[in-house]
Chain A
């Protein structure tokens, strides 16, 4: 029962939380924090209970006769990795939005978000997967639309519509899966030959691609990430984009491996395109948060390249980079949003000399930036190296061109550091007051520690990857 409660309880808890704390706003974050800690503890208990290979069954609920439709909850190492990431990010997001306005509504929406996002990673029933997938949009829509920046309503509606429309193609793919197999459950669909695998593959790919996002479908992301409050950008980048990568692994690599091999060259080209194109857009940007957003897209492109390899090495690298991306991009978003909050400008050339006034934040910005460009000793290095090596192994030496992505990211990160952090102190920075509350500092510190820790000690993540992808012939 715990498994179902962890998904559905937040939906009721969020309504309750709003009405309890409407007149006592300070209380909301503590209740939300308590709930997220409970979720983390439950997920860690599942982590310990994971079998060496395959799924850990959590039960089947809400059976529907004649339709094979039931809420089947099963987790494997991949989903546990995503669940731990989600729970940790949710806890850290509470700290980073410690002083958010209108807290009762804000934190109840965060709690509401925690239900379906767990559902996405926990269920193996395709229709329920889609239901949770769509449901995550609702709290995000309100969080962006309420607490966002100037163009927040445009960004919220664009984000909602864009990903919703893309999901519809995916949904047709799911329909065809059921039509051609008679099962909604992934483990059973896998056993049956599909009549039109290519059509289904591409329909599903559009949905995941828009979420990831990859090159032609990425235009919602800069708007949504820039207009969202930075804590919500953390969730968008850290969790929502991971849904796309997770879906890609679950539904293409695991579900239809032969079709994926057939189209892996396309995936590779789309991934490389995304990485290089988004990287170049990032160089061009003066807007600090947009730069981080494009850098985020660029890293997700690398994940697509890694998934396209269809090998054990590649998918382990993809999982590592998914977690690395969440931990590296999050502090960058947080600091970009914080700098805007303090200086009231988005443009890096109007900042400058922040190092002198806010050394702690600047140091973490530089550390996360270095991780984004792949400095050894950080998560970025391990992720990018393993991805490039596995891609070269599978596709040939010419794929080494994606190493250029590293170069490009070095370009925009170092230039950003040069413009915003170092250099002469601009009058805007001179005037601004750079005090940061303790919880925010704590959260940034935790991100920094994790970036370095998993950069030096990547084994825990690769252990999970080993459990998750051993069917591809691991070590």
Chain B
């Protein structure tokens, strides 16, 4: 049901948004709420199609996903309206990829989401946007090719594509998985496959970047973990080596790159890449019973905070032309509420407690410790402590510096409500960890 509602609304919405974006937004939000209710009532994809199963943890991720997309919808304005329809498609494809238990469908849906994301980034036409969109498209196409190569290899050696029964002991499986992972690392923006992301996130419209770097990436994290779980368990040594190596490489390099940037969107883009690095630690620790908890918690926390910071930046760029760090000087005076939202979400990204960023990192990294990788976790913790430097640097510009331009920045009430939803999520999952544990740990016991 939920899938059909979202796709149908996605097809319907473009009829309305030409004339009145407000009605289009309302319809989209109604669709998000309706599909959340459908999921709650057990009318997910699994009730209609084979190859889909759902459980409480996936439901939790879907609620979070729909709430985030509703918040994004609320904060959009006129020229960003094509995003509304595409978000509905992203939501439907995301629900499908989260619920599927078939590797073939996983690959198909992975490509579907990739195609939606190419359209997503190419919507708004200006020079910088086009450059970012082209980069995202070419890198994505290369990644798709690599993933398909790996998948073809894998399909030679397996009898079944079901996650439970697929054959992971085959002759070429390890190579096939390594090749597929190389492609998937493009999408998850793992160093050294991150080059496109730093430019694309920073150059495309920031609302599109919010969806691309926040929503799609966290859905990918959970879906990839579910799809590759059996491989990760079957090849423990390769798993630890590959994922620890790329985790350390990604977070260290991205954090150091973020330190030099002057464009806020670039800083946030590199911060997003660094967070992909942290999120790989529970992958490396797949043997731990907390690995899935770590991945899911990380995805939930990350979707709220990363989407929120890019949306805030989108508002500020639209209303006040904010691009560089100098432009947000004195933001605490010019837009006090947005400054507060921005600060809290940045603290969450930095891993300050009572915000989701801390607890999700704590759980994801604990999975690493649980699997005996405490030295990787120590490097990750030091990295996340050093990352405070650039987050605090943004906050320093917001509050401690004197404004160059003094006039107030007006923000639409829709975007304030959207930000409140995202902040509520960040704070709720920063204090209450019970939901995530109760839904995930029994699955891996």
Contact = CB atoms under 8 A, between A and B. Distances in A.
Given A64-B433, A131-B358, A161 B389 contact: yes
A281 interface: no
A35 interface: no
Interface string B388-412: 1100110010011000000000000
A346 interface: no
B378 A172 contact: yes
Interface in B194-222: none
Interface residues of B, number: 37
B283 to A, nearest CB: 18
A193 B359 CA distance: 27
Contact of A69 (B353, B382, B386, B433): B433
A179 B378 CA distance: 14
A175 B365 contact: yes
B378 A157 contact: no
Contact of B369 (A142, A145, A179): A179
A404 interface: no
Contacts of B353: 130-132, 134-135
A131 B355 CA distance: 10
A146 B359 CA distance: 28
A98 to B, nearest CB: 24
B399 A172 contact: no
A175 B358 contact: no
B346 to A, nearest CB: 11
Please classify the interface of chain B as helix (H, G, I), strand (E, B), loop, or mixed, using the class held by over half of its residues. Answer: helix
B396 A145 contact: yes
Contact of B388 (A130, A160, A171, A175): A160
A175 B377 contact: yes
Contacts of A11: 354
A64 B434 contact: yes
A131 B432 CA distance: 13
A456 to B, nearest CB: 42
Interface in B354-390: 354, 358-359, 362-363, 365-366, 369-370, 374, 377-378, 381-382, 384-386, 388-389
Contacts of B374: 172, 175-176, 179
B437 interface: yes
Contacts of B11: none
B377 A172 contact: yes
A135 B363 CA distance: 18
Contacts of B381: 168, 171-172
B110 interface: no
Contacts of A398: none
A168 B382 contact: yes
A134 B358 contact: yes
B441 interface: yes
Contacts of A67: 290, 363, 433, 437, 441
A165 B382 contact: yes
Given A134-B352, A138-B347, A142-B399, A161 B378 contact: no
Contacts of A176: 369, 374
A267 B336 CA distance: 47
A203 to B, nearest CB: 9
A130 B378 CA distance: 16
B431 interface: yes
B362 to A, nearest CB: 7
B438 interface: yes
A153 interface: yes
A141 B354 CA distance: 16
A165 B385 contact: yes
Contacts of B382: 165, 168
B370 A65 contact: no
Interface string A420-452: 000000000000000000000000000000000
Contacts of B378: 168-169, 172
A256 to B, nearest CB: 18
A145 B432 CA distance: 31
Given A11-B354, A65-B437, A65-B438, A179 B370 contact: yes
Interface string A46-73: 0000000000000000111111010000
A178 interface: yes
16 contacts: A11-B354, A62-B434, A64-B437, A65-B438, A66-B442, A130-B353, A135-B352, A146-B399, A146-B400, A153-B396, A157-B396, A160-B392, A168-B381, A172-B381, A175-B366, A176-B369
Given A62-B432, A142-B399, 16 more contacts: A62-B431, A66-B442, A67-B433, A67-B441, A131-B359, A145-B400, A146-B400, A153-B396, A156-B396, A157-B393, A157-B396, A172-B374, A175-B374, A176-B374, A179-B366, A179-B374
Interface of A: 11, 62-67, 69, 127, 130-132, 134-135, 137-138, 141-142, 145-146, 152-153, 156-157, 160-161, 164-165, 167-169, 171-172, 175-176, 178-179
